[in-house]
Every structure is written in C-alpha cells, then in structure tokens.
C-alpha cells in the first residue's frame, strides 16, 4: 500500500513519519527530495538562480533557503514561480524512489508529502493519513521551533490549506495535540486497521 502522509506546518507530521520508520516502513520524504533536487550543480538549482538571481546562492554554491523563503512567503506570484520549477523535479524523484522500493520488494511505502493537497498529489497514493493539530497549538509550536514572530508564523500557516480541509480529504486523521504516546496509539490503530502492521 502506498500511504500519503501529510499535515500542516508544525502539526507533528515529521514525528509521525519517524514513528512509521521505527515500525519498519520505508519513507519517501518530499522535504529530503526537495533538498536533493537543488544540490549544487543540479539543473533545478540553475533554473531557480536564473529566475530569482544569483544572490539566492551561498558562496559555496548551495541554495540560500532563508533568503528564498523570505521572498516567497510574502509574494504569492514568486511562490508560484518557485513551485512551478520545483514540483516537477520533486515529483519525478519521488516516483523514482517509490518505484525502486516497490521493485526491491517492499509491500508498503510511505510518501511523506507536506503539500499533498496543495500540490494535488492525491493520485500518487492509495491512502491518505493527515496529522492534525489545533491552530493555537500549531502557532505556539511554530513560533518556538522556528523562533518566529506571531505575524511571521501566521503567514506561514496561512500559506497552506487549512488543516480542516485536509482532514476532509483523508482516509484517517491523527490528532497530535496531546502526548506522543497518544499520537503513537492512534497511528498503530490506523495501521493495524489498514493491515499494514
């Protein structure tokens, strides 16, 4: 089974992905893939530099994520340009990794895709698992984790689909507002029900 794992920023999706990995499930992580496709010398990084200027590159040739992040979080048109460059490259690499795992005999693969719904990638997976969180918990976690002001944290939260919309498109939802033990219990119950573990 191909499971799409998603959630919103600071929902605890990465924590759930870690739990799934500990249960022996292979993970294709969109965030990791997004870094791989913009490594120095890649075609994708070259196209980004052409569109956003050479000053979004660090001296060592790596992408200056903070600088690019500042540009795209406040300018939707520029975010669209970046997404139009990144998404095809990320999709191709994720499919390559997924197919390699299946060819190697894996029965189940988790595709960890933060923007599964925003990018309309539901067709990539057979089941969708959404990690949900109350907005006040999400805001607090994001401000603490990324040392952001309330305004900047809210800008990042509101750049994504509301988690309530994601819940409607899910086959199962994990509510990650409490302790980790409760999150893990929910995960194991869902995976047992789906006959994955």
d(CA 92, CA 107): 21
- Expressed in percent and rounded to 5, the helix, strand and coil fractions of the chain are 55, 15, 30
Contacts of 161 (CB under 8 A, 6+ apart): 8, 117, 118
- Residue 180 pLDDT class (50, 70, 90 cuts): very high
Q: Is 159 annotated as a binding residue?
A: no
Residue 74, pLDDT score: 85
Q: Which is nearest to 133 in space by CA: 1, 23, 6, 37?
A: 6
Q: Is 77 annotated as a binding residue?
A: no
Mean pLDDT of 47-66: 95
Q: Is 11 annotated as a binding residue?
A: yes
* Percent of the chain clearing pLDDT 70 (strictly above): 100
Q: Are 9 and 138 in contact (CB under 8 A)?
A: yes
Q: Is 13 annotated as a binding residue?
A: yes
What is the average pLDDT score of the chain? 95
Residue 115, pLDDT above cutoff 90: no
- Residue 182 pLDDT class (50, 70, 90 cuts): very high
Check: CATH 3.40.50.300 for 2-193?
yes
d(CA 99, CA 171): 23
- pTM, entire model: 0.84
Cα–Cα distance list, 148 to 75, 97, 155, 164 (Å): 18, 34, 10, 23
What is residue 134's DSSP assignment?
-
Residue 119, pLDDT score: 85
3-state class (DSSP) for residue 106: coil
Residue 97, pLDDT above cutoff 90: yes
Mean pLDDT of 25-39: 95
- Residue 129 pLDDT class (50, 70, 90 cuts): very high
- Residue 19 pLDDT class (50, 70, 90 cuts): very high
d(CA 113, CA 5): 6
């Amino acid at each position: 089974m191909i499971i799409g794992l998603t959630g919103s920023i600071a929902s605890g999706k990465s924590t759930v992905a870690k739990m799934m990995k500990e249960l022996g499930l292979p993970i294709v992580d969109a965030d990791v893939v997004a870094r791989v496709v913009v490594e120095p010398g890649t075609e994708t990084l070259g196209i980004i530099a052409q569109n956003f200027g050479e000053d979004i590159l660090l001296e060592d040739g790596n992408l200056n994520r903070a600088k690019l992040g500042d540009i795209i979080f406040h300018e939707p048109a520029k975010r669209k340009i970046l997404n139009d460059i990144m998404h095809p490259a990320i999709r191709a690499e994720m499919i390559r990794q997924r197919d390699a795992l299946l060819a190697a005999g894996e029965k189940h693969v988790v595709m960890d895709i933060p923007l599964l719904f925003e990018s309309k990638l539901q067709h990539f997976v057979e089941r969708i698992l959404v990690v949900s969180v109350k907005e006040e918990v999400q805001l607090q976690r994001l401000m603490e984790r990324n040392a952001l002001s309330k305004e900047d944290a809210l800008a990042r939260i509101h750049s994504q689909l509301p988690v309530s919309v994601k819940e409607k498109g899910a086959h199962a939802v994990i509510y990650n507002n409490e302790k980790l033990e409760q999150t893990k219990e929910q995960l194991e119950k869902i995976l047992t029900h789906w006959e994955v573990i």
